[in-house]
Structure 1
Amino acid sequence: MAPKRPRSASEWKQAGNESFRHGQYGQAAGFYTEAINSVQKSGSKNPEELSILYSNRAACYLKDGACAECIKDCSVALDLIPFAIKPLLRRAAAHEALERYQLAYIDYKTVLQVDCSLQAAHDGVNRMTKALIEKDGLEWRKKLPSIPSVPVSKQKRWELTPENNSVDTGAKRNHPSGDQNGVLPLRKVPTEGEIQQAKALKEEGNEWVKKKNYKKAIDKYNESLKFNNQECAAYTNRALCYLSLKQPREAVKDCTEALMLDAKNVKAFYRRAQAFKELKDYTSSIADIKRLLEVEPNNTAAQKLFQEVQKMLK
């Protein structure tokens, strides 16, 4: 006797999750469609449930290369739950695959407003920046559509595993930071006491830098940022340590954090350019140097680095 087919929305969804895990993306998409139909027929008023199902089906479409269908489903999911991370990331990836670099850039940047720690979004922004510079030149930013402003109330995520290649089961999970509700640590305004503690720890880190003990300096900057994560200098100083320890990827992350706080931070541009140079991403390195020189045209260190990187690019 043939096994009984799942009938409820939750059963269809579970079947979709199982198929997805086994790489059967077309079958999984069909199961999610059944789940969507079941929810809609039941008249459920739970937008989160439907949003997850559309987002999961979008993941199937993305895996199968049906990027236009993925974009449609992600847009529906985002209409239901605005600024949800997974559909934003999946839509960005689909736009990128279709070479719609401006739209991909906007989605990746929107994700970073929700959670500035997501490396997938940082990497996406860097790729799109490089692609847009190649396509539109240094004036590429002037051609961008406006980027949505994420309200503070939305700076959290309702799904806790934002990778593009995993579907959402809807189960509650512990956030890596230990927050049981899955609310992200936001850039809150620090108290005066926290500012002073952060400053003292940063100064200790600076002293270790002078002694060239970069690992201990990083420890101090880490502690400093726990008290005040709005201090650009702590990020750029830690980036200097990572560069000295030959960890350019970490330096790129810290410089990007600093630039999110101060879009014209010269040290962040310079050190990220150095990090990109170490990673042999010469195009991105040159782009950062040019942006630095727009802020400080007579910066001799940047001019020298520009010449070095240009030689390597050629």
Structure 2
Amino acid sequence: MAYVDYKTVLQIDNSVTSALEGINRMTRALMDSLGPEWRLKLPSIPLVPVSAQKRWNSLPSENHKEMAKSKSKATTATKNRVPSAGDVEKARVLKEEGNELVKKGNHKKAIEKYSESLLCSNLESATYSNRALCYLVLKQYTEAVKDCTEALKLDGKNVKAFYRRAQAHKALKDYKSSFADISNLLQIEPRNGPAQKLRQEVKQNLH
């Protein structure tokens, strides 16, 4: 199956543009044809020997630079893609499935659902801030910061994104950035109790 082939290629080099684009296309197609549990219906993905990965990594640095440029262009193209109405609906359904998994405490699986949702449509601020919550719970603070930043690009008044990024910055001991996020949040919601409490905690660590 093409999806398995693409995943195998990405084990060797995760910057191959055609494989990245193929994965995105196949994910949407498989969700259409097999439904939300499409991953369970696929054959297992063969493991690529570490030696093969090392051989690829030993290629001249110029080749890696070119691959990095291609990867960057592919990422930009994906972000700039305008989703269809069908994609937006699929994204909504997947986000809701992610929300249900969060309620059950299954944050790792929820991240997968939110990621699939963002492949369909990356225009929903709440999907990024919801995935950021999962990253916070799993103590992946840098990823949480990135998702909150994306959420705020889409909605500059996303209070949850400000709060979660402030929490992540605090965990990373970046108290100045954390305090700035809380201050921005309190300009939007001056009476936000959790934010006021977090501000006091962060303020104690500012020098």
| TM-score interval, smaller chain | 0.5 to 0.7
The one-letter code of the counterpart of 2:89 is: Q
The aligned residue for residue 301 of structure 1 is 194
Structure 1 CA distance for aligned equivalents of residues 161 and 172 of structure 2: 16
Structure 1 CA distance for aligned equivalents of residues 104 and 76 of structure 2: 39
How big is the shift at 1:312? 2.6
Is 1:194 aligned to 2:87, yes or no? Answer: yes
Return structure 1 stretches of 4+ with deviation > 3 angstroms. 171-174
The aligned residue for residue 265 of structure 1 is 158
The aligned residue for residue 49 of structure 1 is none
The one-letter code of the counterpart of 2:195 is: A
Structure 1 CA distance for aligned equivalents of residues 154 and 71 of structure 2: 24
The aligned residue for residue 240 of structure 1 is 133
Structure 2 CA distance for aligned equivalents of residues 281 and 254 of structure 1: 17
Structure 1 CA distance for aligned equivalents of residues 184 and 62 of structure 2: 39
How big is the shift at 1:262? 1.1
How big is the shift at 1:309? 1.0
Structure 2 CA distance for aligned equivalents of residues 309 and 218 of structure 1: 28
Structure 2 CA distance for aligned equivalents of residues 187 and 267 of structure 1: 25
Q: 1:252–1:210: structure 2 CA closer, same or farther, 3 Å change rule?
A: same
Is 2:128–2:151's contact at 8 Å kept on the other side of the alignment? yes
The aligned residue for residue 219 of structure 1 is 112
Structure 2 CA distance for aligned equivalents of residues 178 and 294 of structure 1: 37
Gaps in structure 1 of 5+ consecutive residues: 1-166
Deviations 1:39-61 (A, max 9, x none): xxxxxxxxxxxxxxxxxxxxxxx
Is 1:274 aligned to 2:167, yes or no? Answer: yes
How big is the shift at 1:172? 5.6
The aligned residue for residue 291 of structure 1 is 184
Structure 2 CA distance for aligned equivalents of residues 188 and 175 of structure 1: 17
The one-letter code of the counterpart of 1:250 is: E
Identical counterparts, % of pairs: 59
TM-score (ref. length: structure 2): 0.64
Which of 98, 101, 106 in structure 2 is aligned with 1:205? 98
Judging by fraction of residues, say which structure has more helix. Answer: 2
How big is the shift at 1:184? 3.1
The one-letter code of the counterpart of 1:193 is: G
Structure 1 CA distance for aligned equivalents of residues 114 and 90 of structure 2: 11
The one-letter code of the counterpart of 1:176 is: K
Is 1:239–1:254's contact at 8 Å kept on the other side of the alignment? yes
Paired residues, number: 145
CA RMSD between the two structures: 2.4
The one-letter code of the counterpart of 1:216 is: K
SS of alignment partner, residue 297 of structure 1: coil
Deviations 1:217-269 (A, max 9, x none): 00000000000101111100000000000111000000000111111211110
The aligned residue for residue 90 of structure 1 is none
Structure 2 CA distance for aligned equivalents of residues 190 and 267 of structure 1: 25
1:1-314 to 2 correspondence within 5 Å? 173=67, 175-176=70-71, 179=74, 184-313=77-206
